[in-house]
Structure 1
Amino acid sequence: MAEVREFRLPDLGEGLTEAEIVRWLVEVGDVVAVDEPVVEVETAKAMVEVPCPYGGVVTARYGEIGQEIPVGSPLVTVASSAAATGEGAASGAPTAQAGPAPEADTARTGGPGGAESGGRANGRAGEGSGNVLVGYGTSSAPRRRRRPAAGRAPVRRPAAVPHGGGRVQPPPGARATAAEGPPPVISPLVRRLARETGLDLRTIAGSGPEGLITRADVARAAETRAAETRAAETRAAETAAAETAARETAAARETAASRAAGAAVSGAGVRRVPLRGVRGAVAEKLSRSRREIPDATTWVDADATELLAARRAMNAADGPKVSLLAVLARICVAALARHPELNSYVDTDAREVVQLDEVHLGFAAQTDRGLVVPVVRNAHTMGAEAISAEMTRLTEAARAGRLSPAELTGGTFTLNNYGVFGVDGSTPIINHPEAAMLGVGRIVEKPWVHEGQLAVRHVVQLSFTFDHRVCDGGTAGGFLRYVADCVERPAVLLRTL
């Protein structure tokens, strides 16, 4: 007997309360496996493919493309065999569910050449003889289970889980882990994450549907073991920031609605573009930064000729190439070690400056969806080569719209390379709630006095914007001067490594 289950939009983390449907990956009547993505949504942070924790036949789906739906709203209902679903979920492997479908969907199946079965099966790249065939409805024609397009790895996201520590007790009646079998997880990625963090999955109680262990369970367990107290403070700060942002967003929407109601726009050539998704999140964050942070900017011109020569020498050796932005990022990390007060944020409620030991370096990246700031985690532990590789990975993911919310948040300092747009200088807006940002202009040939002689040198303008509540001009000037010295004489950096 088929069991019909309803899958709702899960909590996507980082205080996100809604998402916009971008593309449906399944149709009513399709057969889905456990953890197979069913819909692609866009949040204020990134594009996300949402996997369904149930396997079986899709009997209904809710929401249209372009519609914004809140967290907890129904996405799809899946009819599945309880026994088959349990086996597939425990092993983490795709499981085909067979059995009669609801009467309303019987007419969807046709003969072997029917549009419903053949059209979808042939429309998916990468399907072949290895696909699972499942009988559906009253027709004898088999149906193919939908799979992602070839060459495209689906992005897995955890289902909704309650906030708290890594050990979450499952609800009454949840499936327990069998002693002789593998622990039930929501996706194979959870097992890999557990191995990387050195955790035993049998010691973690799953908080997903029917006791499945999710990525969030493993991450919370590792975080609790490493720094429980600090993790609690961080979650509290993020919750407070999310609540404040939600209040401000609601107030802004009310103001916009009242203005729209009182203003009648007439004539041709008028087009309104809604501020939502990534563009809306950027607008909210920049506006909040301008309202709350009393910033100041200082700048200096530096001779980057020797820095370019040093980079050419590094890339002439065997091994991966190092980008110029990665070298500048490594210089920033060294400068923050000399001026740690700039790696901080202001807790306005407690009236305190919170200095951080770890450097999570953000860098601005322009994409088709707008400006995003991916974050290189623990940049203070990495060399220029490792930073360059991570920047390349994050940039490619940003342009493809595949960055997770965790890869776009938590930065402590930002590097902004606006020189790629062909400009010399800028006074950037600080990435709230950080305390500072370094801007790098284009490198151009200019007349320069070098060793007492006028010469043509490669010159770059560096601008440094800082929160004046955190430090005064002396500290900001010392930071910028050290960065400029490393640019002009890269050997200066070697003294701190």
Structure 2
Amino acid sequence: MTTVREARVFQLPDLGEGLTEAEIVAWRVAPGERVGVDQVVIEVETAKAVVEVPVPYAGTVLELHADIGAVLPVGAPLISVSGAAATEPTAEQHGEDAPGGSGNVLVGYGTSPASARRGRRVGASAASTVTTSSRDEERGTDPAAVPLVISPLVRVLARRHGVDLSTVVPSGAHGVILRRDVEQAMAANARPAERRATEAGGAAADERVPLRGLRRTVADKLARSSAIPHATTWIDVDATVLVEAREALRAADPTRRIGLLALLARFCVAGLRKYPELNSTVDVERGEIVRLSAIHLGFAAQTERGLMVPVVREAHRKTTAELAGELATLTGLARSGGLPPTALTGSTFTLNNYGVFGVDGSTPLINHPEAAILGVGRIVDKPWVVDGALAVRKVTQLSLTFDHRVCDGGVAGGFLRYVADCVERPAVLLADV
């Protein structure tokens, strides 16, 4: 008679960075399947990233303890796995580790890349069960019947709002369905319902959107930021020479894509070296201002999940080209959902280029627990006085919001003026490098 070891229950692990819960985005396995140690069995969305979670046991899946879309606290049961039967091949014969577990928790935190490619994704129906060679791409058994969805978050959004993905017209490259495509389908679905409600003499029902995940984290941060005694100062600057400098750098070496954001990051780092008061945090409990020795530069990146702030570590040790490379890498990971939680924490100063949204200016909110944030508006042609004569120049607005506890207006104004001088005359930076 075949004997089976006692079932092991794998619980939602501590995902680090103070995260206490996660939402199930996709299952990679189904009951009855065999799994190996460190095989990815589930994707969860935390407040900071989509994370692949591997199981530390080998055996057969007995039960999945929660449905897609469920929000679970750390420690909640995820999956039950039975031990290998005594008459079955051992884990070692399967090419797996011993069933005692590896101790690894998250892909990217000690788990081998190969393990992240094992398994299959289990969606809301059998049609969405697929074999995958990467964590993002999904296709059904009939590629023509199931659209291509790169982001699991787009699939979750569609499911929550009853959108049939097979009816959605993709706007992304290579036929990829994007978040905006699903939102357009949601709007189209809502219009007939509104007409029916109007014809019936009623009103359309209000939509309630749960405040959780990244949106809740942003809300919590903004609430803490609003409690900081802050002030904002701003200045219009002539960015004509800066734009010319960018073009000159690109022409000198087309392989190095140094953009305006990288140059602005370079100016901020140099400015923080001159005005270290702004690279600080306030320890309220001890009543101390902590001036930080390292500059970890956060920058705002708009993604399908919302606004994220990836962090360039040790920015003061990087060249402008290195800053450009890391900014591009982190932006790509943020938009694909591949950023680990550690890449979204620990910033000491934030740069926010909201000019990409076509706006001239804003009052940026401090990214708690930092002491300051610099916002940059769009660069537009405007009349500008140059050497006493009117000319058309490329002008932008810089806005600095700072914690008034760490410094007064003189320091904040000095930093802002220094960055503005670098924008107008990038050669000014040469004196400090």
TM-score range, shorter chain: 0.7 to 0.9
Alpha-carbon displacement from aligned partner over 1:134-189 (angstroms, at most 9, x marks no partner) = xxxxxxxxxxxxxxxx999x9xxxxxxxxxxxxxxxxxxxxxxxxxxxxxxxxxxx
Partner SS for 2:378: strand
Do structure 1's residue 478 and structure 2's residue 378 form an aligned pair?
A: no
Amino acid at match of 1:55: A
2:131 matched residue in structure 1: 124
- Partner residue in 2 for 1:320: 256
Tell me, yes or no, if the aligned pair for 2:384 and 2:393 is still in contact at 8 Å.
yes
Indicate the residue corresponding to 1:39 in structure 2: 42
Structure 1 residues 116-265: aligned runs within 5 Å: 123-126=130-133
- Correspondence list, 1:224-373, <5 A: 268-291=204-227, 293-318=228-253, 319-373=255-309
Matched, 1:17 2:20: yes
Matched with 2:177 is none
Q: Secondary structure of 1:350's partner?
A: coil
Find the aligned partners of 2:67 and 2:309 in 1 and give their Cα distance.
29
- Equivalence for 1:88: 96
Partner residue in 2 for 1:492: 428
SS of the aligned residue for 1:471 comes to coil
Shift of 1:336: 0.2
1:42-121 pair list within 5 angstroms: 42-81=45-84, 84-85=90-91, 88-89=96-97
CA drift of 1:88 comes to 2.6
SS state at 1:442 partner:
coil
Equivalent-residue separation in structure 1 for 2:36 and 2:222 (angstroms): 41
Output one character per residue of 1:30-57: Cα deviation in whole Å (capped at 9) or x when no partner: 2222212111111111111111122222
Secondary structure in structure 1 of the residue aligned to 2:366: coil
Where does structure 2 lack aligned partners over 5 or more consecutive residues? 103-110, 116-125, 135-147, 153-201
Shift of 1:122: 8.9
Matches within 5 A, 1:431-450: 431-450=367-386
Q: Contact 1:25–1:39 at 8 Å: present in 2 too? A: yes
Q: Which amino acid aligns with 1:368?
A: E
Question: Structure 1: where are the runs of 5+ without partners?
Answer: 96-118, 128-149, 155-265
CA contact (8 A) 1:425 1:461 kept: yes
Alignment partners' CA distance in 2, 1:406 and 1:84: 36
Shift of 1:24: 1.0
Name the amino acid aligned to 1:495. Answer: A
CA distance in 2, matches of 1:427, 1:18: 32
The aligned residue for residue 5 of structure 1 is 8
Q: Deviations over 1:65-113 (max 9, x none)?
A: 1111111111112223399447733798879xxxxxxxxxxxxxxxxxx
**Structure 1 residues 299, 348: CA separation in 2 closer, same or farther (over 3 Å shift)?**
same
Instruction: Report what 2:315 is aligned to.
Output: 379
SS in 1 for 2:96: helix
Task: Report the Cα offset of residue 272 of structure 1.
Answer: 1.2
Q: Match for 1:387: what amino acid?
A: L
- For the 8 Å contact 1:54–1:85, the answer to whether it is kept is no
User: What is the DSSP-based 3-state SS (H/G/I as helix, E as strand, rest coil) of the residue aligned with 1:495?
Assistant: helix
User: For structure 1, which segment, 344-353 or 395-404, has the greater mean C-alpha deviation from structure 2 after superposition?
Assistant: 395-404
SS in 1 for 2:210: coil
Percent identical pairs in the alignment equals 60
CA distance 1:360–1:388, change in 2 (3 Å): same
Q: CA deviation at 1:341?
A: 0.9
Using the size of structure 2 for normalisation, the TM-score is 0.74
Q: Supply the distance in 2 between the matched residues of 1:85 and 1:19 (Cα, whole angstroms).
A: 30
Give the deviation of 1:316 after TM superposition: 0.8
TM-score normalized by structure 1?
Answer: 0.65
Q: Counterparts in 2 of 1:390-401, with a 5 A limit?
A: 390-401=326-337
SS in 1 for 2:205: coil
Alignment partner, residue 365 of structure 2: 429
CA contact (8 A) 2:36 2:97 kept: no
Q: Which amino acid aligns with 2:246?
A: R
Q: Deviations over 1:257-290 (max 9, x none)?
A: xxxxxxxxx9533111111010111011101110
Q: What letter corresponds to residue 37 of structure 1 in structure 2? A: V
1:120 shift after superposition: 9.1
Q: Distance in 1 between matches of 2:244 and 2:275?
A: 27
- Contact 1:446–1:456 (Cα < 8 Å) also in 2: yes
Task: Count the aligned residue pairs.
Answer: 340
Residues 213-251 of structure 1, C-alpha deviations (whole Å, 9 max, x = no match): xxxxxxxxxxxxxxxxxxxxxxxxxxxxxxxxxxxxxxx
- Deviation sequence 1:267-320 (CA, Å, 0-9, x none): 5331111110101110111011102x0110001111111111111111112232
Deviation of residue 342 (structure 1)? 0.6
Mapped partners of 1:2, 1:320: distance in 2:
58
* Distance apart, 1:2 and its partner CA: 3.9
SS at match of 2:235: strand
Q: 1:55 to 1:420 in 2, by over 3 A?
A: same
Q: Which has the higher helix share?
A: 1
Q: Secondary structure at the match of 1:423?
A: coil
In structure 2, give the amino acid aligned to 1:436: A
